[in-house]
Amino acid sequence: MINLNKSLNVLLAISVLFGILFRLYNINHDDLWLDEMATFWVTDPNLSLKEMFLRHKSTELAPQFYYILIYYLHKFFGYDPQIGRYFSALIGILSIFSFGYLVRVIKANGSHKLSIVLISFNVFLISYSMEMRVYMLIFFISSISLISVFQYFNIKKFYWLLIFFITQSLAAFTHPFSIVVFISIVCLVIYQYFAKRFIYKNLNYCLILTGISIFIITIGYYLNLEITDDYIWNSQPGINFYTNFYFSQYFGSRLLGVFHLIILLYLIINFRNYILKKHKKLFLLLILLVLSYSLPLIYGIYKPIITSKYIIFVLIPIISIISVLIYELKNNLIKNILISSLLILTIGNQFTEQNVKQFFVERKYYKPQYDLALEYINNSKVKNYRADIEFAKTDNLKKHYELIYNNYFSYLSKKKNYNLKALARSDQKFDELNEVWVICSHLVNGENCKKIRNKQTIKEEKNFKNLYLRLIQYN
C-alpha cells in the first residue's frame, strides 16, 4: 500500500519548485493590464514623492504602502514594468512558505504539507503573483499577521504582539479590506470573554493600540481620496455568486470550486463542536471566512464593493481549514480519499492552464497586445494615435487614464525606438486632424470599441489579441 505521508514529502518538494517556476516563468508574456498601467504611471521614479502621492490619490483606491515600495524599487532598479511584476512574484513565493508555516502553527499534524501543495498550485495566487498590483502583498501580510496572533496564543511572547501591531498597521496602509482580519480577531476575543470568561489582557491592549493605528490610517486614507465616485463599475453579486462564492475563480474551474466548497462545508459541519469549543485558531479562521464575505456584501447594500481579488486573503481560512481538518479525520480511508482527490484534481487542473500547456503548445495572450498595435502604427504612414477611454464614466477619470495609457505606450515606444505621437483630448480637437489611429481594448471598453461616431470614416481596421486598432479619418 502506498504510504501517503512519504508521497506527500516528495510531492512537497516538487510542488514548491513548480510553485516558484509558475510564478516566474513567462511573467512578462502579456503586456500590462489597465490596472497595472495605473500602478506603473503612479510609481514613476522621475517624480518627487509628493508628486507620486498626488498621482496616487487621483487614480488609485488602495492606500499608499504598496506604491511607495514600487516607487523606490523603480528608483533603485530602473523604470520598467518587470520590476513591479517580479516584486509580486517574490511576494507570491514567500507566501508559499509563510502559509505553510501558518498551517503548522495552527496544528502540527502534518497538514502543512498538504497546504503547501495546494497553495503552490493555486491558479488564482499564481495569476496575481504575475501582476503589478497590491493583492499578493495583502495576502502575504495577512498570513504574517495571523501567524503572530497564533504564536502569541502558543507562547505568550511580547514580540509576537509587536509583529501583529506592525503587520496590521501595514495591512491597513496596503488595502482597506484588510480590516476584516483585525475585526475577526476582535470578534474572537469578545467571544472568548462572553463564552468562557477568558481575558487576553496584553492582547487586548495590543488590539486597542492597533485599532487606533488602523483608525488613523483609514481616516487619513479616506480623507485623501479624490475618485470614490469615479469608480462605479462594481455591482452587487447575483444569485450565481451564492452557489460558489468565487470558488470557481479561486480554484480554476467550476468543478474544482464546487469540490473545494463541498469539502469545506463537510469538514466545518463535521468538526463544528471541535472548532467552537476546543480550537480557537480554527474558530478565528472560521470567523475570518464568514466576515470576508459578509462585511463587503453588507456594505454593498450602500455601495457595491466586493470582488474576488479584494478578498484574496479568504484563501487563507479556506485552504487552512480544509488542510487541518482533513488530517483530523479518524477514518483513514475517507482521509486518504479526500487528500488524494484534492491533490489529483489540483495538480491535474494545471494541465488545463497555460502554466503547463505552454510547454506543449504556444502560450495564449489574454491581455491586449499593445506592443503589436504600436509596431503596426510605427510601420504605417500615420504616426498619430490615441487610446479610447470610453470605459471611464467621468471626465476626471478619462483625463487620468489618457495619461496612464500614454505613459505606458511611451515606454513601449522608447523600448522599440518608435517615432510615434500620442494624443490626448486636451491636445487639440480631433475633428481638426486628418487621420489618427485609435487603440481600443474591447476587454475594457466592450461594445464601445465598435461604435462609429459622426464625422468619422474608418480607413483601416486591425484586430490584435483583445484589441481593436482603427485608422480614423475625420470628414
pTM attached to this predicted model = 0.93
- pLDDT in the model for residue 5: 64
443 vs 139, higher pLDDT: 139
Phi and psi based region of residue 26 (left: phi greater than 0; alpha: psi -120 to 50; beta: remaining): left
**Which of 263-277, 341-355, 379-393, 417-431 has the weakest average pLDDT?**
417-431
Distance CA 373, CA 463 (A): 9
Question: In which band, very low, low, confident or very high, does the pLDDT at 288 lie, cut at 50, 70 and 90?
Answer: very high
CA geometry: angle 23, 25, 31, nearest 5 deg: 90
Contacts of 170 (CB under 8 A, 6+ apart): 65, 141
384 vs 282, higher pLDDT: 282
- pLDDT in the model for residue 445: 77
- Taking only the tens place, the pLDDT of each residue in 177-219 is 999 999 999 999 999 888 877 778 889 999 999 999 999 998 8
Highest mean pLDDT among 196-205, 238-247, 288-297, 304-313: 288-297
Does 318 have pLDDT greater than 60? yes
Residue with cell 469615479: 230
* 185, HSE (Cβ side, Cα atoms, 13 Å): 25
Does 432 have pLDDT greater than 80? no
- pLDDT in the model for residue 129: 95
Work out the average pLDDT over 274-289: 92
- pLDDT in the model for residue 454: 59
CB count in 10 Å sphere of residue 417: 7
C-alpha cell at position 323: 488542510
What proportion of the chain, given as a percentage, has pLDDT over 70?
Answer: 93
- pLDDT in the model for residue 455: 65
Question: In which band, very low, low, confident or very high, does the pLDDT at 475 lie, cut at 50, 70 and 90?
Answer: low
Question: In which band, very low, low, confident or very high, does the pLDDT at 1 lie, cut at 50, 70 and 90?
Answer: very low
Work out the average pLDDT over 69-86: 95
Distance CA 363, CA 29 (A): 9
Distance CA 377, CA 398 (A): 23
Work out the average pLDDT over 400-425: 88
265 vs 382, higher pLDDT: 265
- Taking only the tens place, the pLDDT of each residue in 245-275 is 999 999 988 899 999 999 999 999 999 999 9
Bridge partners of 468? 440, 463
Does 365 have pLDDT greater than 90? no
